[in-house]
Structure 1
Amino acid sequence: MKPHAEIAEVWPRDGRVRLTGRLHGLTVTTTGAWELLVTRRSHPEQRLRYPARLTDDRFEAGLPIADLVTEDPAALEEWDLHLTDGTAELRAGRQLDDIRGKKKIMVFPEQRIEGLSVRPYYTVKDNLSLECRTAGNGAAV
């Protein structure tokens, strides 16, 4: 299994999405700063970075959903989540449990802001991403 950021908890509330978990398959020897990297799938050059607190191999990070409001919103935008120290870029997901097909099983609550509905979700590969829908396109804002 490839090294990745194994998600333990996802907390979507109070205008933020907070994540906790462990780095899996990577020996953490660096003392450098780790970040939560949020990449807009349709425009991969658009990346948002947030500090991640790392203690041994455990991490905690979060982002304000207001930062996902874009000037050129599509009806549906997806943002992929990684943890990075500038050299390693680890996809955030949940691979180490016995639950397959989380996309259809685990449903997180949505949050609404400025005509946008934001909801964490698991992809078909059990990675964690964010789904953003604009008002009038499935978002009850």
Structure 2
Amino acid sequence: MKPHAEIQQVWPRDGRIRFVGELHGHTPAGTGVWQLLLVLRNQGGEQLRYDAPLDGVRFDASLPVDDLALDGLPAATWDLHLSSGPGPGELRLRAGRHLDDIKGKKKIMVYPAQSVTSDEDATVVRPFYTVNDNLSVECVPGEIGPHSWEIERPEWVG
């Protein structure tokens, strides 16, 4: 298995998403500053970076969901990585959960959604596992319904 950031816990609540895990297949040299890196999929590669201090190979990082909901985008998907930091020689380890022997998490594990409301738009933000058991975060227009798993999307005029 290639090196990756093994996610052990995901805590979406109170306007933040917290990720806890450890590096797998890579032992960092020294105490460099690592970052939680989110890369916007299919939208020109926009990136967001947050501090992810390491304790050995363990990390604990969080981010505000407000940062992920971009005004004007009908939907967005952010792919998560742990990064050794920007610049030459940057190492990016894709975040996911592969060591628990549970395949197909996309259909099994559903995390709570959170709402982000700006002056123009309402957006629902939710972490999810991809078909490859990597972790990403989706942002879709709409609001959370009476039940946290229901997303009410506005009618599109076309």
Measured against the shorter chain, the TM-score band is over 0.9
Conserved in 1, the CA contact under 8 Å of 2:10 and 2:17?
yes
2:77 is matched with which residue? 78
Secondary structure at the counterpart of residue 103 of structure 1: helix
Conserved in 2, the CA contact under 8 Å of 1:117 and 1:140?
no
**What count of residue pairs does the alignment treat as equivalent?**
139
Once the two structures are TM-superposed, the CA of residue 44 in structure 1 deviates from its matched residue by 4.0
Q: 1:96 aligns with which of 66, 91, 99?
A: 99
Larger relative contact order (Cα-Cα within 8 Å, sequence gap ≥ 6)? 1
2:111 is matched with which residue? 108
Q: RMSD of the TM alignment (CA)?
A: 1.5
Once the two structures are TM-superposed, the CA of residue 73 in structure 1 deviates from its matched residue by 1.1
1:140 partner letter: E
Once the two structures are TM-superposed, the CA of residue 133 in structure 1 deviates from its matched residue by 0.6
1:32 is matched with which residue? 32
Separation of aligned partners in 2, 1:98 and 1:45: 31
Conserved in 1, the CA contact under 8 Å of 2:31 and 2:54?
no
Higher strand proportion: 1
- From the superposition, tell whether residues 44 and 81 of structure 1 become closer, same or farther in structure 2 (CA, over 3 Å): farther
2:14 is matched with which residue? 14
Which stretches in structure 2 are left out of the alignment for 5+ residues? 144-149, 154-158
User: 1:125-140 residue pairs with structure 2 within 5 A?
Assistant: 125-135=132-142, 139-140=151-152
Conserved in 2, the CA contact under 8 Å of 1:37 and 1:84?
yes
2:94 partner letter: R
Runs of 4 or more, structure 1, over 6 Å off, are: none
